[in-house]
């Protein structure tokens, strides 16, 4: 088992920078999730940890040992690939045996080990089938078996659940976490699905355009996003953002204002703003869809008034998209239960001041961290 340290890792493909100056640490037995949109450099980073790609510059350490230029199989890592890639011309058994190839083990010993992992993942019945004869979930299990049989120092997963249907994904997700805890391996998991990231990770690393945005436990990422990117990428539906300015009214009160909104900021937020000395005028206000109160009828002061543009009824709650009159911008509001209104109805949404986030208008960085 291992602790992984990435120091100033950069990766360039020709002129294109895939990962720039990445510094991070994965603790022993920790499950870290790399989260970001496609092309953000998360898979490249994973490939560098695996040893499939070599960083352009920077160093990579496993347990303090420099492994930057070691080939993949010497690092003793295991990897499960997108949609559980297996050798199509080999049976499940032979696929798993491929992982033991570089180990000097006798035939019986290998067979014993394979039977063991097969039991662990309950794949005994399809050991003699080819990957093409297996369902997505079964294939996923075989790929996992192939990965864990080597007792790897590091367990790497590259969007392994992306090709599966929702129900299966959920159950396999649970199994994976359980397996990771039981085996006590260090695991790095790459995904673009923020629900997956939130449910799996001990810590989440959010990346965008090859740059690390934020690293921390899921609740920290969700409750204290460092910038507008993290704020709008994590959480479904995404956070609503409004551009505006901050206005000091008196020593005690401060307002966030734009053409439609006029929100009095809570004392706690003002203290934080003053504490960090960031009391500039221009700002972006963020408000999660569940932190807006929806009312029927025309807009009053301090509310976003508009027409219902779309309704998604999810049963327990409804997502109401409102197009507001000013400039056809849209916001999303989460309403408990089934939304009773219809399309084109005029409604008003009021952000709850105690749940808002504030960001710098130029850089998008959080003002209250």
Residues in contact with other proteins by the rule CB under 8 A: 47, 50-52, 71-73, 77-79, 81, 85-90, 98-99, 101-102, 130-133
Closest contact distance (angstroms) between CB of 18 and other proteins is 16
Q: Tell me, letter by letter, the H, E, C secondary structure of 194-209.
A: HHHHHHHCCEEEEEEC
Nearer to other proteins, 89 or 267 (CB): 89
The dihedral formed by the CA atoms of 227, 229, 234 and 237, expressed in degrees to the nearest 10: 120
Q: Are 34 and 188 contacting, i.e. CB atoms less than 8 angstroms apart?
A: yes
Nearer to other proteins, 141 or 332 (CB): 141
Distances (CA, A) of 71 to 48, 54, 244, 281, 288: 10, 9, 52, 53, 45
Distances (CA, A) of 38 to 18, 41, 207: 11, 8, 10
Closest contact distance (angstroms) between CB of 225 and other proteins is 33
What sections of 40-149 are H helices per DSSP?
42-50, 72-75, 92-98, 107-120, 136-148
Distances (CA, A) of 163 to 32, 85, 140: 21, 11, 10
Nearer to other proteins, 149 or 226 (CB): 149
Closest contact distance (angstroms) between CB of 89 and other proteins is 5
Closest contact distance (angstroms) between CB of 102 and other proteins is 4
Nearer to other proteins, 89 or 112 (CB): 89
Nearer to other proteins, 67 or 349 (CB): 67
Half-sphere exposure of 59 (CA within 13 A, CB side): 7
Nearer to other proteins, 98 or 255 (CB): 98
Closest contact distance (angstroms) between CB of 135 and other proteins is 14
Which residue is it, tokens 């479904």? 236
Closest contact distance (angstroms) between CB of 85 and other proteins is 5
């Amino acid at each position: 088992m291992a602790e992984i340290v990435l120091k100033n890792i950069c990766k360039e493909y020709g002129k294109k920078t895939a990962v720039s100056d990445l510094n991070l640490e994965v603790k022993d037995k920790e499950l870290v999730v790399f989260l970001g949109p496609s092309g953000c450099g998360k898979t490249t980073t994973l490939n560098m940890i695996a040893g499939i790609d070599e960083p352009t510059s920077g160093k990579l350490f496993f347990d303090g040992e420099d492994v930057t230029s070691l080939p993949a199989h010497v690092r003793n890592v295991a990897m499960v690939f997108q949609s559980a890639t297996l050798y199509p011309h080999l049976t499940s058994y032979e696929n798993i045996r491929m992982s033991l190839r570089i180990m000097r083990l006798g035939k019986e010993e290998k067979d014993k080990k394979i039977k063991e992992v097969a039991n662990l993942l309950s794949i005994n019945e399809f050991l003699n089938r080819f990957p093409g004869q297996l369902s997505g979930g079964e294939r996923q299990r075989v790929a996992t078996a192939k990965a864990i049989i080597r007792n790897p120092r590091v367990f790497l997963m590259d969007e392994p659940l992306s090709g599966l249907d929702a129900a299966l994904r959920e159950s396999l997700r649970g199994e994976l976490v359980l397996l990771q805890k039981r085996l006590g391996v260090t695991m790095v998991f790459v995904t673009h699905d923020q629900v997956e990231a939130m449910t799996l990770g001990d810590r989440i690393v959010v990346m965008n355009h090859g740059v690390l945005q934020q690293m921390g436990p899921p609740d920290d990422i969700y409750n204290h996003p460092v910038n507008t990117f993290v704020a709008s990428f994590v959480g479904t539906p995404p956070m609503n953002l409004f551009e505006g300015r901050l206005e000091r009214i008196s020593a005690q009160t401060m307002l966030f204002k734009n053409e439609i909104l006029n929100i009095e900021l809570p004392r706690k937020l003002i203290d934080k703003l003053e504490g960090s000395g960031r009391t500039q005028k221009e700002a972006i206000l963020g408000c999660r869809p569940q932190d807006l109160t929806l009312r029927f009828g025309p807009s009053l002061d301090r509310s976003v008034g508009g027409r219902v543009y779309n309704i998604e009824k999810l049963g327990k709650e409804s997502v109401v998209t409102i197009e507001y009159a000013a400039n056809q911008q849209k916001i999303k509001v989460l309403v408990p239960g089934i939304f009773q209104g219809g399309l084109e109805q005029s409604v008003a949404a009021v952000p709850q001041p105690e749940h808002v986030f504030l960001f710098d208008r130029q850089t998008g960085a959080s003002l209250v961290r």
